[in-house]
Amino acid sequence: MYFFPYFYSIDIFMKNLVEGFTKQLQEALDIANSAVLTQKHNVQNIVVTGLGGSGIGGTILSELVQSECPVPIIVNKDYFLPDFVNSNSLVIISSYSGNTEETLSAMKQAIDKNAQIVCITSGGEVKIIAEKYNYDTIIIPGGNPPRSCIGYSLVQLLKIIQFNGFVKTDLLNQVKATIALLDKEKEAIKVEASIIAKKLVNKIPVIYSLGSCEGAAVRFRQQINENSKMLCWHHTLPEMNHNELVGWTEKNDSLVVVTFRTSFDYERTIKRYELCKEIFTKYSHSVTDITAKGISKVEQALYLINIGDWISCYIADLKNIDAVEVNVITHLKNELAKLN
């Protein structure tokens, strides 16, 4: 259950959360800098287990540090952990509510496998279990839709990776730089997001990344699903050149292509996209490129996340719907609870 402050009307609640993204990032930094982690972990692999708004941070983390982290980072979004998990694994439990049933199942398996465990949560059963076993736990503020709190969870993931020496880059300092960037670009981001939202409303977004920011593209898809109440899909280059590209053979004015671009896109992938764009333009209603601003991968990823969040909220406005409500998910959870 989400708790909405009495001074917010429900129709602007999500937009207020997006508006406060940089404040959330600053608070997340304050939490990370004051978090007490008692043990450094020397491990052979890292597994981030979490779903939805809690799990997407793991996807983005793995992408941000893949060129520097010496051990593999696997993101688990299921009830079950991979069989390789053992005492040489670091399992990061990421559950905003602390009560996500799939994550709790994975957490119990991590305990049984004697894995090294660190938790990120606002409370719930995860916090109770962590206290029982004396696991390092970073507590983040609760009470909001999990998808609106990616700043809290992602920054703590960066903190854990950096604390354990898996990267030499000062990731938290890059988050600080992101705050300044997003504050400076806030109005421009909102203007661009509003224009793009008008192109996407009553269409089917087809979201492509050029390999360097697939996590942000996945996040955008999820926000379109939850905030805008729309179906869409995403893919990434160059992989889509080996399968999905063949599907672009018929004109379909209901499709609108949106690409996420960064300065880290590989030159040959850029060339691939330039060739593919001719095809997308021919067979879709339109093609829109969103280019990230910032210097570091952290800045550019968070820039794309922020503009994607704004787009999803503006689409909800245009459709005159409540961006917050997720009644179908609530119904699913209630029905599953009856099976226990």
Residue ranges per structural domain of the chain: 35-169, 184-319
Distance, CA of 11 to CA of 293 (rounded, Å) = 29
For 64-78, give one letter per residue: b (16+ CB within 10 A) or e. Answer: bbeeebeeebbbbbe
Per annotation, catalytic residue among 132, 168, 187, 242: 242
Average pLDDT over residues 14-27: 95
Q: Kindly name the residue from 40, 251, 331, 333 that is annotated as catalytic.
A: 333
333 part of the active site: yes
Asked if domains 35-169 and 184-319 share a fold, the reply is: yes
Q: How far apart are CA 303 and CA 151, in angstroms?
A: 12
pLDDT at 337 over 90: no
The confidence score (pLDDT) of residue 5 equals 44
Instruction: Note the pLDDT tens digit of each residue in 234-250.
Output: 999 999 999 999 999 99
Q: Judge whether 235 counts as a catalytic residue.
A: no
Q: Where residue 6 falls among pLDDT bands split at 50, 70, 90?
A: very low
| Residue 331 bears catalytic tag | no
Please give the share of the chain, as a percent, with pLDDT higher than 70. Answer: 97
> In 3D, which of 96, 97, 59, 98 has the Cα closest to residue 77?
59
Q: Which of 63, 102, 226, 299 is catalytic?
A: 226
* Mean of all residue pLDDT scores within the chain: 94
Question: Is 184-319 in CATH node 3.30.2290.10?
Answer: no
Return the pLDDT at 336: 87
What CATH fold (topology level) applies to the domain 35-169?
Rossmann fold (3.40.50)
pLDDT for residue 1 is more than 50: no
For the chain, helix, strand, coil in percent to 5 are 55, 15, 30
| Tens digits of residue pLDDT in 33-84 | 999 999 888 999 999 999 998 999 999 999 999 999 999 999 999 999 999 9
Q: At residue 307, what is the residue type?
A: I
Q: What's the rounded mean pLDDT across residues 153-177? A: 97
